[in-house]
């Protein structure tokens, strides 16, 4: 009996052990981790990685939408052709102009807003919401509104005209159209910068300011030597996100280019993105468009790298 | 209060009010113009009557198809949010709270993909969608966008700040890791999940580049693409256009107002520091 009892007990232990063994496998970090990542990875491979590789491969091909099977390998010819195209350099220049005008301005305005609404004042919730709304509003909608505001002879253009700007329809004027796009971007983006800066400001240790006050530092000195250095990683985040988004501006340009080709008026708002869209998608020249986009990718990479260097060396 | 302090306060308020007016003006102008008769545009006084005819026109005129665009937009936005709500937190949890071979690889996949501009893959994605016969269909506008690396990264940052002790305590009480995820992490991360939902909502609702590339049939348009096509046809009819703008923007504003408190908290605690 004793032996028999032992066997049953042993058996019980074995089943229990094997159950807990199964449970252990299913409940391990390895299986849960991969199980949880699997849906993402499957989508990513098919909708990101594969297209990403294709973009590289297509950029070395002479490929047309209409006859993709007949795509021919042509080496660097697409790149050579782009680098000889005057319009491409113009597009790069326009993208750079937008970024150089809009990114610093939206960063500074965002910081000012954040500091203003981080104080103990009445109605700060209202102002936070007001400044943030453009960020979640459709760019097409905002552009549409600004297009009716920045027409020749409206109260807005009349008013700005007093400061020496031309009283013209901004988005139809070759000199002003690009500035118009930059204004739209700033209007949209500084609310986001404000929110991010706001979260940063709330994390600056209060005793740093107290120490500053004891040392008799002015408000400006406190801002310059405490706030700004403390916010540096956040500034880098804001500047790099805004740069990437600034290079990707598309909706606003599409909205002002009615009837005409993208980049109206007369190519004055043509950017790297509209250049690639026009060639790759409208003119169906996939190989050429892909090469433009690969170059665009490297431009962003280099600029992000330079920003990192610049912001690291500052303070 | 010293006079210098009150001067600063007045300066701050002045600056806030100027900025606030600058930001409110386009929206107030939109609302104001959307209820005007065409002949009253650009008049600031002597308006005889308000009208909602512009709004009515959008819903009754077959040429605009607004009800259809609205349904398309709602379906697509709902599906994309649902996908993001299931897929992103799972990856975020795996990256924040589990330790397994291959985790670093997945982390770098997420971070690197976040940096790549979508234009880079737009053409091949378009070709994929076309091959599957998904152009002009809901599938083409939803399936490729069911996850977002930026949101996965954001959620990972937030989940990291949930103390491990919470999860360990749940395990001692007999919960599996998946159980701990649904029962502990999901409720604790409410504000960052709302943040993600607002961003996913406005991103999908407002997206123009992708729907305008993947659809050519006006019956399959989303609101933003539809609005832009109406705008091109009736650019001189400002009140009509402005009522379209209000119609497109209103759902976002409602969604934001409902969740705004959690939203601000969500951003502050998800720690975006480089």
Q: Render pLDDT for B188-233 as a digit per residue (tens, 0 to 9).
A: 888 888 888 888 998 999 999 899 999 999 899 999 998 888 887 7
Measured distance CA(A171)–CA(A146) in Å, rounded: 9
Answer yes or no: is A305 within a domain: yes
* Pairwise CB contact (< 8 Å): A141 & B245: yes
Residue with tokens 């403390």: A230
Answer yes or no: is A221 within a domain: yes
Are A197 and A301 found together in one domain?
A: yes
Q: What b-and-e string marks burial along B259-270, b requiring 16 or more CB atoms within 10 Å of the CB?
A: bbebbbbbbbbb
B51 interfaces chain A, CB cutoff of 8 Å: no
Nearest chain B Cα to A189, which residue? B23
Query: What number is the average pLDDT over the span A13-27?
Result: 70
pLDDT at A5: 47
Question: Which among B123, B125, B231 has CB closest to A289?
Answer: B123
Degrees (nearest 5) of the Cα angle A78, A82, A88?
150
pLDDT at A315: 41
* Pairwise CB contact (< 8 Å): B100 & A34: yes
pLDDT at B265: 63
Q: How far is A99 from chain B (nearest CA, A)?
A: 15
Which residues on adjacent β-strands are paired with residue A285?
A64
- Higher local confidence (pLDDT), B266 or A67: A67
Are A178 and A283 found together in one domain?
A: yes
Contacts of B87 in chain A (CB under 8 A): 39-40, 43
For chain B, give the longest Cα–Cα distance. Answer: 74
Are A288 and A224 found together in one domain?
A: yes
B23 has a pLDDT exceeding 80: yes
Measured distance CA(A69)–CA(A80) in Å, rounded: 23
* Pairwise CB contact (< 8 Å): B23 & A280: no
Q: Is residue B30 within 8 Å of B238, Cβ to Cβ?
A: no
Are A125 and A7 found together in one domain?
A: no
Catalogue the long-range contacts made by A225-229 (C-beta closer than 8 Å, 24 or more residues apart). A227/A115, A227/A201, A228/A315, A229/A315
Question: Which among B94, B118, B224 has CB closest to A138?
Answer: B224
Answer yes or no: is A233 within a domain: yes
- Higher local confidence (pLDDT), B120 or B235: B120
Q: How far is A3 from chain B (nearest CA, A)?
A: 33
- Give one DSSP letter per residue of chain A, joined into a string: -HHHHHHHHHHHHHHHHHHHHHHHHHTSHHHHHHHHHHHHHHHHIIIIIHHHHHHHHHTTEE-BGGGGGG-EE-TTHHHHHHHT-HHHHHHHHHHHHHHHHHHHHHHHHHHHHHHHHTSS-TTHHHHHHHHHHHHHS-HHHHHHHHHHHTSTTSHHHHHHHTTT---S-GGGSTTTHHHHHHHHHHHHHHHHHHHHHHHHHTTS-HHHHHHHHHTT--HHHHIIIIIHHHTHHHHHHHHHHHHHHHHT--HHHHHH--SS-TT-STTTT--HHHHHIIIIIIS-BHHHHHHHHHHHHHHHHHHHHHHHHHHHH--
For B116, which DSSP code?
Answer: S
Going along chain B from its start, the domains and CATH numbers come out as 62-269 (1.10.3720.10)
Q: How far is A167 from chain B (nearest CA, A)?
A: 16
Degrees (nearest 5) of the Cα angle A83, A85, A88?
80
- Mean pLDDT, chain A, integer: 85
Are A100 and A50 found together in one domain?
A: no
* Pairwise CB contact (< 8 Å): A32 & B26: no
Question: Which among B94, B103, B245 has CB closest to A144?
Answer: B245
Are A109 and A206 found together in one domain?
A: yes
Answer yes or no: is A70 within a domain: no
Contacts of A304 in chain B (CB under 8 A): 115
Q: Which domain, by its residues, includes A6?
A: 2-58
- Mean pLDDT, chain B, integer: 86
Q: Is residue B114 within a helix (H) or strand (E), and if so which, with residue range?
A: helix B103-115
Answer yes or no: is A36 within a domain: yes
Contacts of B205 in chain A (CB under 8 A): 138
Q: How far is B119 from chain A (nearest CA, A)?
A: 7
Number of independent structural domains in chain A: 2
Answer yes or no: is A238 within a domain: yes
Answer yes or no: is A10 within a domain: yes
Q: What b-and-e string marks burial along B112-146, b requiring 16 or more CB atoms within 10 Å of the CB?
A: ebbebbebbbbbbbbbbbeeeebbbbebbbbbbbb
User: For the whole model, what pTM was predicted?
Assistant: 0.85
Category of A168 on φ-ψ map: left (φ > 0), alpha (ψ -120 to 50) or beta: beta
Q: Is residue A254 within 8 Å of B208, Cβ to Cβ?
A: yes
| ipTM passes above 0.85 | yes
A205-249 pLDDT, tens per residue?
A: 888 888 888 888 888 888 888 888 888 888 888 888 898 889 889
Query: What number is the average pLDDT over the span A44-54?
Result: 95
For B137, which DSSP code?
Answer: S
Q: How far is B203 from chain A (nearest CA, A)?
A: 8
Are A44 and A105 found together in one domain?
A: no
Share of chain A above pLDDT 70, in %: 92
B7 interfaces chain A, CB cutoff of 8 Å: no
Structure confidence at residue A2 as a pLDDT band (50, 70, 90): very low
Nearest chain A Cα to B141, which residue? A47
Are A203 and A154 found together in one domain?
A: yes
Are A42 and A81 found together in one domain?
A: no
Are A40 and A86 found together in one domain?
A: no
* Pairwise CB contact (< 8 Å): B272 & A196: yes
Measured distance CA(A73)–CA(A185) in Å, rounded: 39
Are A167 and A270 found together in one domain?
A: yes
Answer yes or no: is A71 within a domain: no
B223-233 pLDDT, tens per residue?
A: 999 888 888 77
Question: Which among A33, A198, A251 has CB closest to B100?
Answer: A33
CATH number at residue A162: 1.10.3720.10
A131-179 pLDDT, tens per residue?
A: 988 998 888 889 989 998 898 888 888 888 888 888 888 988 888 999 9
Measured distance CA(A113)–CA(A111) in Å, rounded: 5
Nearest to B268 by CA among A235, A202, A107, A125: A202
| Tokens found for residue B205 | 């609702």
Are A134 and A224 found together in one domain?
A: yes
Contacts of B20 in chain A (CB under 8 A): 126-127, 130-131
């Amino acid at each position: 009996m004793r032996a028999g009892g032992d066997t049953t007990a042993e058996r019980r232990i074995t089943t229990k052990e094997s159950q807990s063994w199964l449970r252990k496998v299913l409940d391990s970090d390895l299986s849960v981790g991969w199980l949880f990542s699997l849906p993402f990875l499957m989508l990513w491979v098919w909708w990101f990685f594969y297209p990403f590789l294709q973009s590289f491969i297509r950029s070395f091909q002479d490929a047309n939408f209409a006859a993709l099977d007949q795509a021919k390998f042509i080496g660097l010819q697409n790149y050579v052709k782009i680098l000889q195209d005057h319009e491409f350099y113009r597009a790069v220049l326009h993208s750079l102009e937008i970024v150089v005008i809009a990114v610093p301005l939206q960063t500074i305005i965002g910081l000012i807003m954040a500091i203003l609404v981080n104080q103990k004042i009445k109605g700060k919730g209202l102002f936070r919401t007001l400044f943030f709304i453009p960020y979640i509003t459709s760019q097409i909608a905002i552009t549409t509104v600004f297009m009716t505001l920045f027409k020749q002879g409206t109260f807005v253009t009349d008013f700005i005209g007093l400061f020496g700007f031309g009283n013209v329809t901004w988005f139809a004027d070759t000199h002003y159209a690009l500035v118009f796009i930059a204004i739209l971007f700033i209007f949209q983006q500084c609310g986001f910068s404000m929110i991010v800066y706001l979260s940063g400001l709330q994390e600056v240790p209060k005793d740093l300011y107290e120490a500053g006050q004891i040392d008799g530092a002015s408000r400006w000195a406190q801002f310059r030597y405490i706030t700004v250095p403390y916010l540096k990683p956040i500034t880098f985040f804001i500047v790099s996100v805004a740069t990437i988004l600034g290079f990707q501006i598309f909706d606003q340009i599409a909205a002002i280019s009615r009837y005409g080709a993208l980049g109206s008026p007369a190519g004055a708002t043509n950017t790297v993105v509209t250049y690639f869209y026009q060639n790759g998608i409208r003119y169906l020249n996939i190989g050429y468009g892909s090469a433009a986009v690969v170059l665009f990718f490297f431009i962003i990479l280099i600029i992000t790298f330079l920003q990192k260097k610049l912001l690291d060396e500052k303070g | 209060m010293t006079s210098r302090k009150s001067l600063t306060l007045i300066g701050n308020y002045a600056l806030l009010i100027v900025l606030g007016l600058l930001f409110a003006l386009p929206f107030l102008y939109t609302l104001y113009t959307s209820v005007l008769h065409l002949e009253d545009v650009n008049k600031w006084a002597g308006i005889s009557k308000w009208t909602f005819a512009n709004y009515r026109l959008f819903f009754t005129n077959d040429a605009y198809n607004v009800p259809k665009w609205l349904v398309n937009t709602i379906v697509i936005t709902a599906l994309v949010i649902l996908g993001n709500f299931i897929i992103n937190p799972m990856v975020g949890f795996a990256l924040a709270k589990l330790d397994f071979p291959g985790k670093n690889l997945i982390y770098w996949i997420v971070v690197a993909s976040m940096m790549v501009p979508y234009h880079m893959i737009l053409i091949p994605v378009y070709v994929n969608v076309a091959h599957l016969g998904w152009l002009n269909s809901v599938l083409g506008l939803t399936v490729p966008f069911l996850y977002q690396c930026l949101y996965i990264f954001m959620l990972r940052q937030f989940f990291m700040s949930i103390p491990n002790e919470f999860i360990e305590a749940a395990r001692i009480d007999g919960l599996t890791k998946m159980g701990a995820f649904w029962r502990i992490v999901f409720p604790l991360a409410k504000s960052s999940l709302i943040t993600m939902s607002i961003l996913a909502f406005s991103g999908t609702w407002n997206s123009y580049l992708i729907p305008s590339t993947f659809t050519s049939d006006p019956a399959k348009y989303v609101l933003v693409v539809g609005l832009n096509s109406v705008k091109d046809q009736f650019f001189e009819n400002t009140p009509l256009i402005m009522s379209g703008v209000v119609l497109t923007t209103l759902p976002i504003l409602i969604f934001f107002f409902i969740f705004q408190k959690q939203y601000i908290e969500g951003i502050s605690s998800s720690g975006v520091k480089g």
